[in-house]
Structure 1
Amino acid sequence: MHLSVPTTDAGAPQEEPALVTRGLTKRYRGGQLAVDGLDLSVPRGSVFGFLGPNGSGKTTTIRMLMGLIAPSAGAMRVLGQPMPRAARTVLPRVGALIEGPALYGFLSGWDNLVRFDSADPDADPGTRRERVGHALERVGLTSAAGKKARAYSLGMKQRLGLAAALLQPRELLVLDEPTNGLDPQGMREIRALVRELAADGTTVFLSSHLLDEIEHICTHAAVMARGRLVTQGTVADLAAGVHSHLVVGTPDPEDALRVLKEHGVLDLVAEGERVLGQLPGEDPPDLADLNAALVRAGVRVRAFGTERGSLEDAFVALTGEGFDVAG
């Protein structure tokens, strides 16, 4: 299969996506279909969240994109070049952290990065010390640089793997579950680093099963389930596809449920002193009228408003399943 370069209406070539696949498929021996006909397009300069439960085909897709395993069918291009044919010219422009870093446990964090940098034929030995120090600083490991990698926690190992991916400037950064094992502070620091990289023009392709992570830092996202692409687009558009919830805070939830049901609110549920409902898509009641009806009925209203749909709501609506299910 051949992937053509997109053009504008005037016939001039457009900037090709950082990653693009058509019909990408991976079937393992025994018939297991891990990735099924994936059509993916990752805009340059985006922070792209690759979203799905554990087992949905995310890591298999990344391994194919990086030339680590061969696809069973389909085509793919990375940074405008066909993969895996152009791997030697493409991969030096890509930083990657896939399935956790492969570290030398008997070496210190500093010496691990020196070893990785030395393996790069394009790396200038004269500036190696500066590169390694800067990479460690960016991921918050300067104080642990002399510590043996085998003594690192899982989160520290993730940071060191990310530092290795950042030794050189990259056009594309591919991260597979980058916050795995990090505490909340570490997660915030990695999110800030991803935003910083994106602001500098790096395209970031970030695989995760954490919806909160994707919603906080990504501009675009794709949803995978059981090896298939469910949807892709901007994060705002994906979340906007889910209706907003009506939320009423009241110590009289049963009375609130009755009044709201009489006024056409759907899918009502009480959670303690919170009543949640769904406004109908056609001819929805006015929010001010709903609030007034509750007050007239003697319902004590402590809070009243709507909450926009989230990526979690979108995922459940699209797949019909909870997110913590291994597909």
Structure 2
Amino acid sequence: MAQPQAAAPGESATTVGAPRTAAEARAAVTEAAEQGGVAGDTGDVVIETRRLAKQYRGTLAVDGLDLRVPRGSVFGFLGPNGSGKTTTIRMLMGLIQPTSGSARVLGRPMPNAARSVLPRVGALIEGPALYGFLSGRHNLLRFDAADPTADPRTRKARVGAALERVGLAAAADKKARAYSLGMKQRLGLAAALLQPRELLVLDEPTNGLDPQGMREIRALVRELAADGTTVFLSSHLLDEIEQVCTHAAVMARGRLIAQGTVAELSAGSRGRLGVTTPDVAEAARLLAARGLTGLVTEEQKVIGELPAEPPDLAELNAELVGAGVRVRGFGLERTSLEDTFVALTGEGFDVAG
């Protein structure tokens, strides 16, 4: 597994004016979470960690993690590759011991209570480990037979239903070694769905899938959540988290940056104004003078973040026109989870779904 990379914050485009600091972004997210009462409430949680840490050869892969996953949520665990997500999940599932701190899953301490907790949890971590010489169907039959809580009388029916659910019914009798990466991901997910679970933990579940497969997995996650299963979904794809999750946490270089509902996290970044014009340089100069920060200039557009006390937009538009700026488009733009992540960490990563 890749170790966290200590990447310095960077910029992805030409900027004008002072960018918003990570401290300001963190404060905004924390304030939103406190007002919403989600991140800090005392309601039922299925995963809770306190100062959880894991060290490898002097490097902190996970550093003092305080995480709370509400029951019934679709919780996105977000961060670039190497941020500590998989290490955290392996500690939650009792696969590795933490260096310090504690973790509770379904109200029980892990890894001490693994024997009682894991039968209630379905998991797909770092891709499935399959028997290549067996068919997809016989892989699932073997996995189910190894589960002491599984009823052998319903085994074949449950395996068939799981294959159907992930779209592998037609390929069920092919050898697993002939499966593509996306098909192997689907089979691993089917293994996690052989029995009803209170908690489903998915580590990069759409890895290797084509766009149609990714949409199908998202639809399946929503269906499982509607049935009452809490889904903990790790991903480095911002768009994936934003489309399917109700709550999210942001990791960077082994540390938790922020957590809350997806709406709260997006709201933690101030609104942005976009101005479409061929006079980019002059428009950027005037917007910076009126307090907009983090200005990004494109070929015929300027995008900037509004200050805490934004100017009157009608007056700002009139000022641009009065200064000879040919305004072809002017308006507020939706703040995305990508904007929040960049504001919090200064980093960017895959945003395509």
TM-score (norm 2): 0.83
Shift of 1:37: 1.5
Alignment deviations for residues 82-136 of structure 1 (CA, whole Å, 9 cap, x no partner): 1112111110100000000001111111111111111122222222222111111
Pick closer, same or farther for the CA change 1:232–1:267 going to 2, 3 Å: closer
> Counterpart of 1:204?
231
State the distance in 2 between where 1:273 and 1:207 align.
37
Letter in 2 for 1:304: F
Letter in 1 for 2:53: T
State the distance in 2 between where 1:121 and 1:15 align.
32
Q: Does 1:79 align with 2:79?
A: no
State the distance in 1 between where 2:148 and 2:113 align.
17
8 Å contact kept, 1:316–1:323: no
> Counterpart of 2:4?
none
Shift of 1:321: 2.9
8 Å contact kept, 1:108–1:147: yes
Q: Does 1:279 align with 2:306?
A: yes
State the distance in 1 between where 2:331 and 2:114 align.
52
Q: Does 1:123 align with 2:165?
A: no
Letter in 2 for 1:109: G
Q: For residue 150 of structure 1, give the secondary structure of its aligned residue in structure 2.
A: helix
Shift of 1:39: 1.0
State the distance in 1 between where 2:102 and 2:292 align.
47
Q: Does 1:247 align with 2:277?
A: no
8 Å contact kept, 1:266–1:280: yes
Alignment of 1:215-226 (within 5 A): 215-226=242-253
Alignment deviations for residues 66-96 of structure 1 (CA, whole Å, 9 cap, x no partner): 1111111111111111111211111010000
Q: For residue 117 of structure 1, give the secondary structure of its aligned residue in structure 2.
A: helix
Q: For residue 248 of structure 1, give the secondary structure of its aligned residue in structure 2.
A: strand
Alignment deviations for residues 258-292 of structure 1 (CA, whole Å, 9 cap, x no partner): 4434544334332112211222212x211122223
Alignment of 1:174-323 (within 5 A): 174-282=201-309, 284-323=310-349
> Counterpart of 1:8?
none
State the distance in 1 between where 2:290 and 2:153 align.
73
Among 14, 36, 47, which residue is 1:19 paired with? 47
Alignment deviations for residues 233-282 of structure 1 (CA, whole Å, 9 cap, x no partner): 11111111111211112233344334434544334332112211222212
State the distance in 2 between where 1:23 and 1:262 align.
43
Pick closer, same or farther for the CA change 1:35–1:255 going to 2, 3 Å: closer
> Counterpart of 2:124?
97
The alignment yields a C-alpha RMSD, in angstroms, of 1.7
8 Å contact kept, 1:245–1:277: yes
State the distance in 1 between where 2:344 and 2:268 align.
10
Letter in 1 for 2:320: L
State the distance in 2 between where 1:31 and 1:259 align.
49
Q: For residue 178 of structure 1, give the secondary structure of its aligned residue in structure 2.
A: coil
Structure 2 gaps, min length 5? 1-41
State the distance in 2 between where 1:63 and 1:268 align.
40
State the distance in 2 between where 1:259 and 1:161 align.
54
Alignment deviations for residues 275-322 of structure 1 (CA, whole Å, 9 cap, x no partner): 11222212x211122223333444333322111322222122222333
TM-score (norm 1): 0.89
State the distance in 1 between where 2:327 and 2:281 align.
13
Paired residue total = 309
